[in-house]
Amino acid sequence: MCEKLISINKLSAGTKNYQILHNISFDINACEIVCLLGSSGSGKTMTALSILNMLPLNVTQTSGSILYNNKPFNENICGTFISMIMQAPASCFDSVFTIGTQFKDILISNHKEYSINRVYTMLEKVELHNPQDILNSYPFQLSGGMLQRVMIAIALSLDSKVIIADEPTSDLDVAGQKEIIDLILKLKKENKSVLMITHNLAVAKSCADKIAVMEHGRLVDIFKKDELLLENRHKYTKELIAANNWLYANKWNIDLGENYAEM
Ligand SMILES: Nc1ncnc2c1ncn2[C@@H]1O[C@H](COP(=O)(O)OP(=O)(O)OP(=O)(O)O)[C@@H](O)[C@H]1O
């Protein structure tokens, strides 16, 4: 039986006026890549922010629980147990400090050992083979893909067990997407678990062990990757599959609309 690192149980959250998340339950096990898949606004980021205990001020958890190694949240969870790779890494770095300064500050503020050799090793692990130049650069001097890799190197240096990656491929071209997917797979080999948020079924298919599908704030389907094409998939999952492969639109009788039919 796999070790449960994070267990989300009947989580609901919302503002004073409306509910955003409804009764979400799923687990993240050791050395597992879970992809949270769904369209824009379906609640993927809110789920991740709930796990990080970082919901916006106007949003609160209204019911349910989240356990980390069977324990409730405490102040040491973020950084040491979980770290996050953001969708737009440029906005996470301060443009007036070098990458090296910020890398060091993050390690020290999370009470992690800092040594330049270890930082070099982590940068090498994410295929940044000129670590000295990277550390001397300012964020605006690096591409989006390079900044994503620096964030992954920071997450590795923090030695967190779980890494949450919020759409890490969405701002990248196809080659950049593949590089980040390869790195996510490498994280699993380093005994990390990953919660990867994406709206891209192909990305989920290429790296997930388990896919959880969200629609309108609800988790409507959850399954192992090799169960993707089973007949008992939820209607919304089938629509996502059909939109990627019209053969399944025919098989499941899903109307993809006039524009798609013309292709
Ligand atoms: N600060 C906020 N206050 C109130 N509602 C919010 C807030 N932030 C997001 N929402 C709403 O919560 C819902 C879920 O948003 P969320 O960002 O989790 O979606 P998502 O699936 O991550 O979308 P995307 O793929 O576009 O990032 C949306 O309807 C959104 O409008």
User: Residue ranges of the domains in the chain?
Assistant: 4-228, 232-263
C-alpha 45 – ligand 1 centre gap (Å): 7
Site to probe by mutation for ligand 1, drawn from 24, 59, 197, 203 as the one with most ligand atoms within 8 Å of Cβ, is 59
Specify the pairing of strand 60-68 against strand 33-38: unpaired
Cα radius of gyration (the chain): 19
pLDDT for position 49: 94
Measured in Å, residue 253 CA sits from the centre of ligand 1 at 31
Q: Which atom of ligand 1 is nearest to the CA of 46?
A: 18
Reported as a single tens digit per residue, the pLDDT across 106-147 is 999 888 888 899 999 999 988 899 999 999 999 999 988 889
**What's the 7 CA to ligand 1 centre distance in angstroms?**
22
Nearest to 23 by CA among 178, 218, 255: 218
218 Cβ closer than 6 Å to some ligand 1 atom? no
Write the residue with the smallest CA distance to atom 31 of ligand 1.
41
4-228 to CATH, choices 3.30.70.20, 3.40.50.970, 3.40.50.720, 3.40.50.300: 3.40.50.300
DSSP string of 100-150, one letter each residue:
HHHHHHHHHHTT----HHHHHHHHHHTT---HHHHHHS-GGGS-HHHHHHH
In this prediction, residue 254 carries a pLDDT of: 77
| Reported ipTM | 0.97
| Dist. CA 250 → ligand 1 center (Å) | 32
- 216 φ, ψ (degrees, to nearest 5): 50, 45
Which atom in ligand 1 lies closest to the alpha carbon of residue 49?
18
pLDDT at 177: 82
Closest Cα to atom 1, ligand 1: which residue? 56
> 220 C-alpha to center of ligand 1: Å?
17
193 in Cβ contact with 163 (< 8 Å): yes
Could you give the CA distance from residue 42 to residue 196 in angstroms, rounded to a whole number?
A: 15
| Cα–Cα dist 90/93, whole Å | 6
- Sheet containing strand 19-29, strands side by side: 60-68, 4-14, 19-29, 218-224, 210-215, 33-38, 193-198, 162-166, 82-85
CA of 20 to the centre of ligand 1 (A): 8
For the Cβ of 243 lying below 6 angstroms from any atom of ligand 1, the answer is: no
Give me the residues of the chain with pLDDT under 70, please.
1, 258-263
| Helices marked H in 52-89 | none
What H or E segment, with its residue span, contains residue 166? strand 162-166
43 lines ligand 1 (CB under 6 A): yes
